[in-house]
């Protein structure tokens, strides 16, 4: 079964509430829907969320790299030949999100071709994940209200707080308010998106000691190699590499140079194939992983849970799977449901991201 055609459809869906964080903010999901068509009528689907402030990709650059560089080399390739597809993608540097979506769409097509759910093909460990909700920049009281509402409405008991603001007291206060308001049993961890220096991060850790924070993600730029290694050595909690570790090579560099001692895996920028390699690396080294959120739609979140539920190590912690709830709408025909704090994989062949065609017609931007 060969790849016959690849669609890259730009679309835009507004957010009800913007998500703000140290490296940027999102008001609209201006993403690209990737569809890999085969000569036997199977269509693999995935979502590509451009994050210019993280990887330098834009909606236009994703469409261009897919159509001008990847599609000409992938047309005619057998969808089962994943290593060949991987070699084509690897020949071009960067463009992580475009590559990730192509890879997931291929896995989706393979699952459909074999009549098997993708989470089973990947590993089949379990069929659902606990959900972690990501809280963007807001005044402390509003953060607590949001966390309490998500706890009550969806049964979510794990929260990732976006930090990295100055003065540091803003985020330290937010941590305190959340811990006092949510109680001891709720898991709370931080993501600074490189907003602080390594030394500022040390200061935050010192001032939040005793608040039971479980992880600190991308506290500073990984290029601050020496100070960051010092931070990792002295931190009482794991320092997670996120945007500094989109590939297995990057993850190795960060772990081996002491820039991190935990890794955030995101299918949106690593696909299933490279995410599997990153996971193998982490499992082999005895390093914790989290399943992260690239500010994903339901289509993207379904890919994350499909991968995360497939392995024991990725399903140990709650996955970041709920930020689609802030979007005004979505393309997924059958909406994702968070029940008792969990999201389930789909049991149909492939990933199961059937698209609502009338919504796609409404939100697509290429006509």
Phi, psi of 330 (to 5 degrees): -155, 165
Give me the catalytic one of 7, 103, 171, 242.
Answer: 242
Active site residue 359: no
> CA–CA separation, 289 vs 286, rounded Å?
10
Question: Which residue number places its CB atom closest to ligand MUC?
Answer: 54
CB 296 within 8 A of CB 19: no
Active site residue 127: no
The smaller minimum CB distance to ligand MUC, of residues 85 and 295, is found at 295
47 interacts with, out of ligand MUC, Mg ion, none, CB within 5 to 8 A per kind: none
Give me the catalytic one of 103, 162, 224, 254.
Answer: 162
Q: How buried is residue 359: exposed, middle or buried, by Cβ count under 10 Å (0-12/13-18/19+)?
A: middle
Binding mask 229-258 for Mg ion (x = CB under 5 A): -------------x----------------
204 interacts with, out of ligand MUC, Mg ion, none, CB within 5 to 8 A per kind: none
322 interacts with, out of ligand MUC, Mg ion, none, CB within 5 to 8 A per kind: none
CB 161 within 8 A of CB 143: yes
C-alpha distances out from residue 90 to 33, 55, 82, 184, 248, Å? 21, 16, 12, 45, 12
Q: How far is the CB of 237 from Mg ion (least distance, A)?
A: 15
Active site residue 221: no
CB 304 within 8 A of CB 319: yes
Active site residue 99: no
The smaller minimum CB distance to ligand MUC, of residues 108 and 242, is found at 242
Active site residue 191: yes
Q: What is the DSSP string of 338-363?
A: -BTTEEEPP-SSBS---B-HHHHHHH
Among 73, 79, 292, which Cα is nearest to 193's?
A: 292
Give me the catalytic one of 7, 217, 254, 326.
Answer: 217
Give the footprint of ligand MUC on this chain (CB under 6 A): 21, 23, 51, 54, 191, 193, 242-243, 292-295
CB 150 within 8 A of CB 133: yes
Contact status: 191 vs Mg ion (CB under 5 A): yes
51 interacts with, out of ligand MUC, Mg ion, none, CB within 5 to 8 A per kind: ligand MUC
The smaller minimum CB distance to Mg ion, of residues 44 and 136, is found at 136
Give the catalytic positions in this structure: 162, 191, 217, 242, 266, 294
Q: Which residues here bind Mg ion, judged by CB under 5 A?
A: 191, 217, 242
């Amino acid at each position: 079964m060969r790849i016959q055609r690849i669609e890259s459809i730009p679309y835009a869906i507004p957010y009800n509430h913007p998500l703000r964080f140290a490296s940027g903010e999102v008001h609209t999901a201006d993403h690209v829907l990737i569809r890999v068509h085969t000569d036997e009528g199977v269509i693999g689907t995935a979502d590509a969320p451009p994050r210019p402030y993280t990887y330098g990709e834009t909606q236009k650059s994703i469409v261009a790299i897919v159509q001008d560089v990847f599609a000409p080399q992938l047309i005619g390739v057998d969808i089962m030949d994943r290593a060949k597809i991987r070699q084509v993608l690897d020949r071009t540097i960067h463009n992580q999100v475009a590559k990730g979506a192509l890879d997931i769409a291929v896995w989706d097509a393979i699952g459909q071709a074999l009549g098997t759910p993708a989470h089973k093909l990947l590993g089949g460990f379990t069929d659902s994940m606990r959900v972690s909700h990501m809280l963007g920049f807001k005044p402390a009281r509003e953060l607590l209200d949001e966390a309490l509402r998500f706890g009550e409405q969806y049964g979510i008991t794990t929260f990732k707080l976006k930090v990295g603001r100055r003065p540091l007291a803003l985020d330290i206060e937010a941590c305190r308010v959340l811990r006092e308001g949510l109680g001891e049993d709720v898991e709370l961890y931080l993501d600074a998106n490189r907003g602080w220096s390594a030394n500022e991060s040390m200061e935050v850790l010192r001032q939040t000691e005793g608040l039971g924070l479980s992880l600190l993600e991308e506290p500073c730029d990984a290029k601050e190699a020496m100070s960051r290694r010092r931070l990792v050595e002295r931190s009482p909690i794991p320092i997670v590499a996120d945007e500094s570790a989109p590939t297995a090579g990057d993850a190795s560099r960060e772990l081996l140079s002491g820039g991190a001692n935990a890794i955030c895996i995101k299918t949106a920028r690593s696909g299933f194939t490279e995410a599997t390699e990153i996971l193998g690396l982490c499992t082999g080294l005895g390093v914790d992983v989290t399943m992260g959120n690239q500010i994903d739609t339901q289509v993207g979140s379904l890919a994350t849970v499909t991968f995360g539920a497939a392995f024991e190590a990725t399903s140990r912690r709650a996955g970041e799977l709920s930020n689609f709830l802030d979007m005004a709408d979505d393309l997924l025909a059958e909406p994702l449901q968070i029940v008792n704090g969990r999201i389930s994989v789909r049991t149909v062949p492939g990933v199961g991201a059937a698209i609502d065609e009338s919504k796609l017609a409404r939100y697509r931007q290429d006509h």
